[in-house]
Amino acid sequence: MVVQALDVQKDPFRPPEEGEIILGPETPYLSAIGALMYLANNTRSNIAFAINLLARYRSTPTRRHWKGGKDVLCYLRGTTDLCLFYPQESLSNLTGFADAGYLYDPQKGKSQTGYIFSYNGATMSWHSTKQTLTATLSNNTEILALHEVSPECQ
């Protein structure tokens, strides 16, 4: 197994730094993010989290963010054989998972919530978002995540 260190200066998910050049409208950043969001919402749930983070910088994208979007496109090109598959089985198995990341955005004091539901092992519903309330403890974050996912269970 090869492990590569992450160069923090090249991290495509960080906000723009002071002095970093903001890309102009000639760079198709919004179009790329929109196309990737379509894929994430309809067929490729495995890229949803990365696209969610890159979309946060749609009004102030930098070269670093643009490269992050292109990296996702390269990943998709290399994984064209992955797809959603719903097997037909005699027993139905509906499974759901929810999780939260405490203070995922420390600048704004917000945590991240995510959930996924699968049917017979195939993803059928997923969502990831910043929590609307500010939690003061990590266990509060988990309770908020369960509260936010509960309507999806109906």
Per-residue model confidence (pLDDT) at position 7: 64
**Per-residue confidence band for 93, with pLDDT thresholds at 50, 70 and 90:** confident
Percent of the chain at pLDDT exceeding 90 = 29
Q: What would the pLDDT profile of 99-120 be if each residue is shown by its tens digit?
A: 888 776 667 778 888 888 888 8
Domain count, the chain: 2
Per-residue model confidence (pLDDT) at position 61: 95
- Most confident of the following: 6-20, 52-66, 130-144: 52-66
Q: Could you list the residue range(s) of the whole structural domain that residue 17 is in?
A: 12-78
Q: Is residue 89 part of a domain?
A: no
> Between helices 48-55 and 29-42, what is the axis angle to 10°?
150
Q: How many Å apart are CA 26 and CA 60, to the nearest integer?
A: 13
Q: Are residues 68 and 120 in the same domain?
A: no
Strand segments, DSSP code E, in 12-143 are: 94-105, 110-119, 122-130
Handedness of CA 52, 57, 58, 64 (dihedral sign): negative
Check whether 73 has a pLDDT greater than 90.
Answer: yes
Domain boundary among 54, 78, 102: 78
Q: Is residue 83 part of a domain?
A: no
How many Cα atoms are found within 13 Å in the side-chain-facing hemisphere of 102?
9
Q: Are residues 66 and 118 in the same domain?
A: no
Q: Is residue 7 part of a domain?
A: no
Check whether 122 has a pLDDT greater than 90.
Answer: no
Q: What is the DSSP letter of 17?
A: P
Check whether 75 has a pLDDT greater than 80.
Answer: yes
Q: Is residue 73 part of a domain?
A: yes
Q: Is residue 99 part of a domain?
A: yes
Q: What would the pLDDT profile of 5-46 be if each residue is shown by its tens digit?
A: 556 667 788 888 888 999 999 999 999 999 999 998 888 888
* Mean pLDDT over the full length of the chain: 85
